Structure 1
Amino acid sequence: MSSWRFDEPLVTLSTPETNERSKALWEAEDLGGLTEDNNPLPVPIVWLVGLTVVTAFALTLPLWGQRPTAELYEPLIDAMENPAVLNAADDTEAMNQVLALTANNPRSNPALLARHPVTMDDLRMIAPQVEALEVKGVDLRDYSVVGPNVVVANFEGNYRKDGTRIRQQPWWDIGYTIDLFYLTAFFLGVFITVKRLPPVSWQPRHGNH
């Protein structure tokens, strides 16, 4: 670590001796006739990259990585007993009726349903399981729908006062964890790489070209 310095991280992370060796190598290497200056990244580009990351996260926050819960399909299952659904000519019409009946339901989540669509056959398979959970009075958000099965969600949160455990996907773990890790690693890697170069106050002469 003797070649590192941290007193001016925004200027350079290299010692003067390391910078001098880098400068000599920079001047000696002609890159096949190409020349490369030592200019900083334009500030507008930095802000544009930051804005891109922030807006991408903000726009996908309601949808990204959320898993379907039993609560998501509860309004659809309740609508299955509606006469308009029971008297439908076929499953396609029945499903359209279910979606129409639940479109304005405050418990409905059309955006999430679009990511996890179901058919009437799917609803028929999970309906008895969801209804059994409703009878028990449990929180349907604690249960995930995996294919034809309604299972306890694979999350372990805090305990409620009644001793049951919250098994709901936390708001900060909807696909962001891994992305934040890679973004942080990427930006930190780029920063360290750039700041190991000589300060931008120095420009190579390229043999006075």
Structure 2
Amino acid sequence: MRAQLARIDAVLVQAVIAAALSFAHLHDVASAAGQDGWKAWAYPVSVDLLLVAAWRRLRTGDSKAAGWCWFVIALAASLGANIATAGLLDLNHVPAWLRILVAGWPAVAFLGGTLLAHSAPPRRELAQENGRESVPVDEQEGDQEDAPDPVPELPSPSATASASTPPTPVSVPAALVDHARKVATEHHARTGTAIDTTTLRARLGVPMPLADAIAAQL
């Protein structure tokens, strides 16, 4: 246990030292390029945040191409600042191209951070849960809108009537007639033709004699 804690402590100390040195190098380059005061301290923060955002995108597994692109850009900015402070460039006489790069970095960092943070996820995401595929909520709502409205259950007419006895008129509740009228209006608006008895029976889910009685009252 002590050995594991010692290894963790050593890694943390090494990470803190490396981050502090890289932060200081970025600050020195920004300051030498004409960004004084708080602006020089903001440059290392923006570079490190873009690096972390790109690494997080790579870990999530979504849009890895964009993650790698901005990770390489942020890593190049960090490594470039560290190499520049090694004596390869005279920080007292910074070349014009370096001043241009430092001055344009905020726009690049803002663009990269915005794209990484607000990229839209794929519209159709299907996940298998308990052996079944889950459909997005918007598609479920669309399916529910196409389904016919539920109707109250009605007793079926008697099939044991005598052949000599005239058929008894089917009684249709007023609520069912109102619902059928709405269904017929929606069908006419969608197709431009009046609804037939077979389609009305299928939409309402009622027996054919009852559908005939309803159609007679429409």
TM-score, L = length of structure 2: 0.24
Higher relative contact order (CA 8 A, sep 6+): 1
Give the structure with the higher percent helix.
2
TM-score, L = length of structure 1: 0.24
